[in-house]
A and B are shown apart, each in its own frame.
Chain A
Amino acid sequence: MSIDIRCARLDPEEISRNYSELHTPLTELQAIQESARCLFCHDAPCTEACPTDIDIPGFIRKIASGNVKGAANTILSENIMGNTCGNVCPVEELCEQVCVKKTAEEKPVVIGQLQRYATDHVLENWIQLFQRAPQSGKKAAVVGGGPAGLSCAHRLAMLGHEVTLYESRDKPGGLNEYGLAAYKMLDDRAAREIAYILDIGGINIMTGKTLGKDFELAELRRDYDAVFIGLGHNAVNALGLENEAVDGAHNAVDFIELIRQEDLSTLPVGRQVIIIGGGNTAIDMAVQIKKLGAESVTMVYRRGLDEMGATEYEQQVAQTNGVLIRTHAKPHRILTLDDQLNAVEFEYTQNDADGRLTGSGEKFVLPADQLFKAIGQALDATPLDGEETPEISHGRIKVDESQHTSLPDVWAGGDCTAGKDLTVTAVQDGKIAATSMNEYLNHG
Chain B
Amino acid sequence: MADLSCKIAGISSPNPFWLASAPPTDKRYNVERAFEAGWGGVVWKTLGEDGPPIVNVSSRYGSVDFNGQRMMGFNNIELITDRPLQINLDEITAVKKAWPDRALVVSLMVPCTEQAWKDILKKVEQTGCDGVELNFGCPHGMSERGMGAAVGQVPEYIQEVTEWCKVHTDLPVFVKLTPNISDIRRPARAAFDGGADAVSLINTINSIVSIDLDIMAPTPTVAGKGVHGGYCGPAVKPIALSMVSEIARDPHTRNLPISGIGGIGDWRDAAEYISLGCGSVQVCTAAMRYGFRIIDDMVDGLNNWMDEKGYATLEDFRGAAIPNVTDWQYLDLNYKTIAAIDQETCIECGLCHITCEDTSHQAISASKDENGKRTYTVIDEECVGCNLCYLVCPVPKCISMNEVDNGLPYLNWTEHPNNPMK
Known: A28-B396, A29-B396. A67 touches B301 (CB 8 A): yes
Q: Determine whether the beta carbon of A66 is less than 8 Å from that of B268.
A: yes
Nearest CB of chain A from residue B3's CB, rounded to whole Å: 17
Main secondary structure of the interface of B (DSSP, over half): helix
CB nearest to B291 among chain A residues: A42
Known: A58-B296, A70-B297, A70-B300. A65 touches B266 (CB 8 A): yes
- By a CB distance below 8 angstroms, the chain B residues around A67 are 267, 297, 300-301, 304-305
- By a CB distance below 8 angstroms, the chain B residues around A61 are 294, 297
Q: Determine whether the beta carbon of B304 is less than 8 Å from that of A70.
A: yes
A200 at the interface (CB under 8 A from B): no
- By a CB distance below 8 angstroms, the chain A residues around B297 are 58, 61-62, 65, 67, 70
Q: Determine whether the beta carbon of A40 is less than 8 Å from that of B290.
A: yes
- By a CB distance below 8 angstroms, the chain B residues around A69 are 304
CB nearest to A36 among chain B residues: B69
B394 at the interface (CB under 8 A from A): yes
- Name the residue in B266, B304, B305 with the highest tally of chain A Cβ atoms < 10 Å from its Cβ: B304
Task: Provide the bound-state CA to CA distance between A66 and B266, in Å.
Answer: 10
Task: Provide the bound-state CA to CA distance between A228 and B251, in Å.
Answer: 67
- By a CB distance below 8 angstroms, the chain B residues around A32 are 396
Q: Determine whether the beta carbon of B290 is less than 8 Å from that of A73.
A: no
Interface residues of B in 295-334 (CB under 8 A from A): 296-297, 300-301, 303-305
- Name the residue in A29, A62, A67 with the highest tally of chain B Cβ atoms < 10 Å from its Cβ: A67
Nearest CB of chain A from residue B286's CB, rounded to whole Å: 10
Q: Determine whether the beta carbon of B268 is less than 8 Å from that of A73.
A: no
Task: Provide the bound-state CA to CA distance between A276 and B224, in Å.
Answer: 69
B395 at the interface (CB under 8 A from A): yes
Interface residues of A in 55-72 (CB under 8 A from B): 58, 61-62, 64-67, 69-70
- By a CB distance below 8 angstroms, the chain A residues around B290 are 40
B293 at the interface (CB under 8 A from A): yes
Q: Determine whether the beta carbon of A62 is less than 8 Å from that of B396.
A: no
Nearest CB of chain B from residue A279's CB, rounded to whole Å: 38
Nearest CB of chain A from residue B345's CB, rounded to whole Å: 9
CB nearest to A32 among chain B residues: B396
CB nearest to A71 among chain B residues: B297
Task: Provide the bound-state CA to CA distance between A32 and B395, in Å.
Answer: 11
Main secondary structure of the interface of A (DSSP, over half): helix
Q: CB-CB contacts of A7-45 with B at 8 A, as 1s and 0s?
A: 000000000000000000000110010001000101000
Q: Determine whether the beta carbon of A73 is less than 8 Å from that of B300.
A: yes
Nearest CB of chain B from residue A143's CB, rounded to whole Å: 36
Q: Determine whether the beta carbon of B69 is less than 8 Å from that of A70.
A: no
CB nearest to B69 among chain A residues: A36
Residue of B69, B268, B396 near A65 (CB, 8 A) is B268
Interface size on B, residues (CB 8 A): 19
Q: Determine whether the beta carbon of A29 is less than 8 Å from that of B394.
A: yes
- By a CB distance below 8 angstroms, the chain B residues around A42 are 291
- By a CB distance below 8 angstroms, the chain B residues around A73 are 300
CB nearest to A63 among chain B residues: B297
CB nearest to A28 among chain B residues: B396
Nearest CB of chain B from residue A435's CB, rounded to whole Å: 22
Task: Provide the bound-state CA to CA distance between A36 and B394, in Å.
Answer: 15
CB nearest to B307 among chain A residues: A69
- By a CB distance below 8 angstroms, the chain A residues around B296 are 58
Nearest CB of chain B from residue A189's CB, rounded to whole Å: 25
Task: Provide the bound-state CA to CA distance between A175 and B352, in Å.
Answer: 49
- By a CB distance below 8 angstroms, the chain B residues around A29 are 394-396
Q: Determine whether the beta carbon of A62 is less than 8 Å from that of B394.
A: no
Nearest CB of chain A from residue B181's CB, rounded to whole Å: 32
Task: Provide the bound-state CA to CA distance between A40 and B266, in Å.
Answer: 14
- By a CB distance below 8 angstroms, the chain A residues around B304 are 67, 69-70
Interface residues of B in 237-284 (CB under 8 A from A): 266-268
Task: Provide the bound-state CA to CA distance between A66 and B300, in Å.
Answer: 11
Nearest CB of chain B from residue A65's CB, rounded to whole Å: 4
CB nearest to B308 among chain A residues: A69
CB nearest to A73 among chain B residues: B300
CB nearest to B305 among chain A residues: A67
- Name the residue in A32, A42, A65 with the highest tally of chain B Cβ atoms < 10 Å from its Cβ: A65
CB nearest to A27 among chain B residues: B396
Interface residues of B in 64-93 (CB under 8 A from A): 69
- Name the residue in B69, B290, B394 with the highest tally of chain A Cβ atoms < 10 Å from its Cβ: B290
Nearest CB of chain A from residue B342's CB, rounded to whole Å: 13
- By a CB distance below 8 angstroms, the chain B residues around A40 are 290, 294
Task: Provide the bound-state CA to CA distance between A249 and B268, in Å.
Answer: 59
Interface residues of B in 369-411 (CB under 8 A from A): 394-397
Nearest CB of chain A from residue B151's CB, rounded to whole Å: 36
Nearest CB of chain A from residue B132's CB, rounded to whole Å: 32
Q: Determine whether the beta carbon of B301 is less than 8 Å from that of A66.
A: yes
CB nearest to B398 among chain A residues: A29
Task: Provide the bound-state CA to CA distance between A40 and B396, in Å.
Answer: 24
- By a CB distance below 8 angstroms, the chain A residues around B267 are 65, 67
Nearest CB of chain A from residue B78's CB, rounded to whole Å: 23
- By a CB distance below 8 angstroms, the chain A residues around B305 are 67
Q: Determine whether the beta carbon of B301 is less than 8 Å from that of A62.
A: yes
Task: Provide the bound-state CA to CA distance between A395 and B396, in Å.
Answer: 54
Nearest CB of chain B from residue A70's CB, rounded to whole Å: 4
Task: Provide the bound-state CA to CA distance between A62 and B294, in Å.
Answer: 10
Task: Provide the bound-state CA to CA distance between A414 and B293, in Å.
Answer: 33
Task: Provide the bound-state CA to CA distance between A69 and B306, in Å.
Answer: 12
- By a CB distance below 8 angstroms, the chain A residues around B266 are 64-65
Q: Determine whether the beta carbon of A58 is less than 8 Å from that of B301.
A: no
CB nearest to B293 among chain A residues: A58
- By a CB distance below 8 angstroms, the chain B residues around A70 are 297, 300-301, 303-304
Nearest CB of chain A from residue B115's CB, rounded to whole Å: 46
Residue of A28, A36, A62, A64 near B300 (CB, 8 A) is A62
Task: Provide the bound-state CA to CA distance between A416 and B290, in Å.
Answer: 41
Interface residues of A in 215-272 (CB under 8 A from B): none
- By a CB distance below 8 angstroms, the chain A residues around B69 are 36
CB nearest to A58 among chain B residues: B296
Task: Provide the bound-state CA to CA distance between A61 and B301, in Å.
Answer: 10
- By a CB distance below 8 angstroms, the chain A residues around B301 are 62, 65-67, 70
Q: CB-CB contacts of A355-373 with B at 8 A, as 1s and 0s?
A: 0000000000000000000
Task: Provide the bound-state CA to CA distance between A40 and B296, in Å.
Answer: 13
Nearest CB of chain B from residue A39's CB, rounded to whole Å: 9
CB nearest to A55 among chain B residues: B296
Task: Provide the bound-state CA to CA distance between A192 and B385, in Å.
Answer: 44
Task: Provide the bound-state CA to CA distance between A58 and B296, in Å.
Answer: 8
- By a CB distance below 8 angstroms, the chain A residues around B294 are 40, 61
Nearest CB of chain B from residue A77's CB, rounded to whole Å: 11
- By a CB distance below 8 angstroms, the chain B residues around A66 are 268, 301
Task: Provide the bound-state CA to CA distance between A346 and B55, in Å.
Answer: 80
Task: Provide the bound-state CA to CA distance between A126 and B148, in Å.
Answer: 53
Nearest CB of chain A from residue B306's CB, rounded to whole Å: 12
Task: Provide the bound-state CA to CA distance between A40 and B294, in Å.
Answer: 9
- By a CB distance below 8 angstroms, the chain A residues around B397 are 28
- By a CB distance below 8 angstroms, the chain A residues around B300 are 62, 67, 70, 73
Task: Provide the bound-state CA to CA distance between A65 and B266, in Å.
Answer: 7
19 A-B contact pairs sorted by A residue (CB < 8 Å): A28-B397, A29-B394, A32-B396, A58-B296, A61-B297, A62-B297, A62-B300, A62-B301, A65-B266, A66-B268, A66-B301, A67-B267, A67-B300, A67-B305, A70-B297, A70-B300, A70-B303, A70-B304, A73-B300
Known: A61-B297, A73-B300. 16 other contacts (CB 8 A): A29-B394, A36-B69, A42-B291, A58-B297, A61-B294, A62-B297, A62-B300, A62-B301, A64-B266, A65-B267, A66-B268, A66-B301, A67-B301, A67-B305, A70-B297, A70-B301
Nearest first, the 9 closest Cβ-Cβ pairs linking A and B are A67-B301, A65-B266, A70-B300, A69-B304, A62-B297, A28-B396, A40-B290, A65-B301, A70-B304
